[in-house]
């Protein structure tokens, strides 16, 4: 989702290994931090513009390097998935999540909106 009107993004973070993956514009408990904390091998990087972040994410996606690793029962765990003691433990290496045409249609929709934002380094 794009930033609220009038909100200046802190930067653009690409998460390629985390509980949820994608391009985010805020490092906070509710955004990048929540999606990467407690994920072994999480990978995220900050970029100064949405275009650079989207390019980096697309490259990793095309390399099949994007992995969503939700913690069972956590906020990014699929709602209809059972969580019980009989559930297998989280994988030691990330699992691949790459077959979503719907994801790319949403990214294209955000591309126009997010391209208006630039982050200037201090």
Mean pLDDT of 34-47: 89
pTM: 0.61
Query: What residues form DSSP beta bridges with 14?
Result: 23, 45
Decide if 44 contacts 14 (C-beta within 8 A).
yes
Residue indicated by tokens 């290994």: 17
pLDDT-derived band of residue 95, with 50, 70 and 90 as boundaries?
very low
Q: What's residue 37's pLDDT?
A: 83
Q: Three-state SS for 17?
A: strand
Are the C-beta atoms of 108 and 101 separated by less than 8 Å? Answer: no
- The residue extents of the domains of the chain are 12-79+93-107
CB-based contacts of 68: which residues, under 8 Å, 6+ apart?
18, 19, 20, 21, 76, 94, 95, 97
25: pLDDT confidence band, cut at 50, 70 and 90?
confident
**Strand (E) or helix (H) holding 44:** strand 43-47
Whether 77 has a pLDDT exceeding 70, the answer reads yes
């Amino acid at each position: 989702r794009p930033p609220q009107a009038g909100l200046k993004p802190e930067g653009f973070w690409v998460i390629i290994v985390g509980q949820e993956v994608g391009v985010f514009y805020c490092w906070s408990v509710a955004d990048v931090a929540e999606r990467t904390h407690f994920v072994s091998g999480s990978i995220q990087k900050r970029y100064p513009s949405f275009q650079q972040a989207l390019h980096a994410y697309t490259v990793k996606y095309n390399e099949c390097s994007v992995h969503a690793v939700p913690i069972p029962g956590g906020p990014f765990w699929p709602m209809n998935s059972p969580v019980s003691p009989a559930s297998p433990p989280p994988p030691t290496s990330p699992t691949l999540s790459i077959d979503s045409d719907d994801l790319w249609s949403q990214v294209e929709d955000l591309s126009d909106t997010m391209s208006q934002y630039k982050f200037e380094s201090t």
